[in-house]
Copies of this chain bind each other. A is one copy, B any other.
Amino acid sequence: MKPSPKSRRRAPMWSSLNARPRPAVQPVSAVAAPADATWLEPPASPIDARPDETLRDQAFRNERLRDDALQTAVRQKPDALHPLTRAEQNRQLWAYETRVKGAFARIVPTLRAIAARQHAPDFERSAQESARAALGFALPDDALADAWVDRLDMRALFAHATFETFRAMSTDYFTADPLETHPQARDFQDVLLRCGFHAMNVTPCADGRLAHTISYVLRLPMGTVQRRSSAGALFDVEEALQRWEAVELGRFREGVPNLADAPTRYLKVAAYHYSSRDPDHQGCAAHGSDTRAAASAGLAQLRAFRLAVENTHCCGASIATLLIGIDTDTDRLRIHLPNDAGEPDLDRLVDAGGLYRATAQLDPESARTRIREAIARPRDGGPPPEAGMQDLMAKLIENNLSQIDYVRTYAGEHYPDAGHQERFIGVGTDFEEVHLRNLTYFAFMRTLEEGAPNLDVGIEIFRRLNVAHGLPIPIVLRFHYTGQVPGARERAVQRCARIAEAILKRYPDLAERGLIQTYWTLRDTSRADPIECVGSSLPSTWREV
């Protein structure tokens, strides 16, 4: 049962009220009704007394980002939507994005207001009230209590607030399933199998502007679809091979998701990106903003993986591959068609933007038919994809039409933030709860020794975004472990500690001034539980707040 749109609960969304176990049959989405988005409630404190609407609009024009085009865009008429656009889903996704980004956006003004009053009488009580009301959590008592001696350590409080906000978002994701991933996952598993694929593993670029690829751009459910972000979409072939082996063993041993003798394939997707608005500067940094180079590199990696499977395993082992491109200004999708050998062809593609325009005036079924024709009978007369792949491509294109309208509705012709605006750096192997554009710079690694080049780029970005303003760089570490494997949790904790230490050593100029702060999180993949914080560069007493 969904909560009434009118209901307003006062508890912050990560309280025990909301952190209840997700119902097995029909999950309640925390964003289903915007009014359930408790972070949007009128704060009790005057420092943040803004009506809901203001707060919601705030998401894309926080203190860093102002774009007047946005205001116009938000008021765009819904009747301008494409006939296949799922308007209600767009509203839900928008509510989720606004709620989460709004929470991060409130950190600086809230702390700023608190800082201004640090020598006022009754400071501690009023500061905590402000924090609870605006941020949803209290600040560490000892940090406030000692302010009269010297002054508040705003850097540490900023990092603390960022980490707590991340934790609230993460816990919400794992306990309330705000993107309704679970019910979608079951349906999409069936679709995928009908298309002839027993697994779908997508590698978008690690760039923060691609972090929403799965849930927003492609509208696919995590879980059924595996994500493996990697800088420049240059995923680790050895790791991909191991993952393939694990999936195949699951089919042989357990018949999951289907029996090994079913004629389905493992699908690997590489997603490169480009900027239609400023292609020479805002494309993929890993490939020098050269769209063709980015696409070629993705293709080469797909080929390497396919050859690795074919040459390492006998008996006709192979995989299916798919190359897609995403315009980071509009989230428009392009899908590459196969060449005569069945491999993605760099020069043959269907573009969701073109299909949007070509089908915008049709009724839904005619629009679907037109899309399917564009894929099944390519205009250049070249080879079409296999039948199952045609179905999947058509679904991806149709899904992307909703996202094109999402951007048009809420951002206008293009996103206002063409460049980096991330709030924190994620370091580790995966952040399955991160689904928002430009929220997280992600540096994939199991050790800094291997992943340092990725993190270097992120640190440079945050020197501009945060350090230039005196703010520290918040780094969330994250590793997965399987709770059923004895000792696995302890080893994951050690991994966090090792990487945190290595990070401080690598950037001593920042570390010495407290301008790098780390927050160590783990998740047990054998359970549905939320993440656990197992350490931090901040005082350990702060974590119990």
Contact = CB atoms under 8 A, between A and B. Distances in A.
16 contacts: A237-B485, A237-B491, A238-B488, A242-B242, A245-B249, A249-B313, A252-B252, A252-B253, A307-B485, A311-B482, A311-B484, A312-B484, A312-B485, A447-B447, A449-B499, A449-B502
A242 B488 CA distance: 14
Interface in A433-488: 446-450, 482, 484-488
A308 interface: yes
Contacts of A252: 248-249, 252-253, 260
A314 B246 contact: no
B237 A488 contact: yes
Contacts of A509: none
Given A449-B449, A498-B449, A253 B485 contact: no
Interface in A86-142: none
A485 B241 contact: yes
A448 B448 CA distance: 10
Contact of A248 (B253, B446, B488, B502): B253
Nearest to A234: B487
Contacts of A311: 482, 484-485, 526
Contacts of A341: none
A310 to B, nearest CB: 8
Given A447-B449, A449-B498, A450-B447, A308 B241 contact: no
Given A449-B447, A484-B308, A502-B449, A317 B253 contact: yes
A387 interface: no
A452 to B, nearest CB: 9
Interface in A499-545: 499, 502, 526
Given A447-B447, A498-B449, A502-B449, A486 B253 contact: no
A119 to B, nearest CB: 45
Contact of A253 (B315, B447, B498): B315
A322 to B, nearest CB: 18
Contacts of A187: none
A520 to B, nearest CB: 15
A254 B245 CA distance: 13
A46 to B, nearest CB: 49
A303 interface: yes
Nearest to A244: B249
Interface string A298-327: 000001100110011111010000000000
Contacts of A484: 307-308, 311-312
Interface in A49-79: none
A241 B499 CA distance: 24
A248 to B, nearest CB: 6
Interface of A: 237-238, 241-242, 245-246, 248-249, 252-254, 260, 303-304, 307-308, 311-315, 317, 446-450, 482, 484-488, 491, 498-499, 502, 526
A24 B313 CA distance: 23
A304 B486 contact: yes
Contact of A308 (B245, B254, B486, B498): B486
A488 B313 CA distance: 16
A260 B487 CA distance: 29
Main secondary structure of the interface of A (DSSP, over half): helix
Nearest to A310: B484
Contact of A307 (B237, B317, B486): B486
A314 B485 contact: no
B315 A238 contact: no
Contacts of A253: 248, 252, 313-315, 317
A253 B303 CA distance: 22
Given A252-B252, A252-B253, A486 B314 contact: no
A487 B449 contact: no
Contacts of A307: 484-486
Given A248-B249, A249-B248, A491-B238, A254 B485 contact: no
Given A242-B242, A448-B449, A484-B307, A314 B237 contact: no
A315 B312 CA distance: 26
A93 to B, nearest CB: 34
Contacts of A260: 252
A484 B237 CA distance: 12
Nearest to A484: B311
Nearest to A251: B252
A256 B273 CA distance: 42
Contacts of A246: 245
Contacts of A502: 449
A132 to B, nearest CB: 40
Given A249-B313, A448-B449, 5 more contacts: A237-B485, A245-B245, A248-B249, A253-B315, A308-B485
A352 to B, nearest CB: 31
